[in-house]
Amino acid sequence: MFGSGERLGPRRGPKLPDDVRDALDLARGERVLTFARDDNTGAQVVATTYRFVVATADTVVMQRDWYDVDAGQWDPDTWTLTVTWVDGRHAGQYTFRGQDTRLPETFHERVQASVVLASPLDLPGPRRSGRVVIRKDLRDGRLFEQTVLGRQTPADDPAVLARIDQLTAQLRDQVGL
């Protein structure tokens, strides 16, 4: 038999505050996967099946679909997750010092789930970079292409545009778009 204080079933962690959960206004089929409190702002950083959300009591401060994430970097020394966006908006930094959270792993898994196929542009010249990505909207499964250019890559350069068109056509063909 079980001694006093032992539990049956999965271990439960902290509960997302009800006012924050209500502010998320979850869509049909959407659920909270994990969350953690940002040490810098006190806001809850939430990973749902469809979105990355930063929320306080009754207020969504920021929300982006997973396909809007360009990259994330987890620094285990500072317990900090840095998030960059495909549209070049200011990166977000969230610190979860000493918290028992699966947010970094879930973040990685959700971003990867939104990437169907990716290929670098292989542009000539120094500091020219970029990639074309076929992404998936995790809400409805819709596939679409996305071009992410490096800071030093001119979006109006005819050679860049030609390479984007060529690579986009190849990737679309590979996924049947």
pLDDT band at 156; cut points 50, 70, 90: very high
Per-residue model confidence as pLDDT tens digits over 56-103: 988 999 999 999 999 999 999 999 999 999 998 999 999 999 898 999
The CATH architecture to which 18-111 belongs is Roll (2.30)
User: Percentage of residues in the chain with pLDDT exceeding 70?
Assistant: 93
**Arithmetic mean of pLDDT, 94-122:** 95
Reduced 3-state DSSP string for the chain: CCCCCCCCCCCCCCCCCHHHHHHHCCCCCCCEEEEEECCCCCCEEEEECCEEEEEECCEEEEEEEHHHEEEEEEECCCCEEEEEECCCCCCEEEECCCCCCCHHHHHHHHHHHHEEEEEECCCCCCCCCEEEEEEECCCCCCEEEEEEECCCCCCCCHHHHHHHHHHHHHHHHHHCC
Is 15 a residue whose pLDDT tops 50? yes
Residue 2: what pLDDT? 37
pLDDT confidence of residue 124: 79
Lowest mean pLDDT among 113-117, 126-130, 138-142, 147-151: 126-130
Rounded distance between C-alpha atoms, residue 145 and residue 171, angstroms: 8
pLDDT of residue 13: 67
Contacts of 34 (CB under 8 A, 6+ apart): 46, 47, 101, 102, 103, 106
Residue 57: its pLDDT value, please? 87
Q: Where along the chain do its domains lie? A: 18-111, 115-175
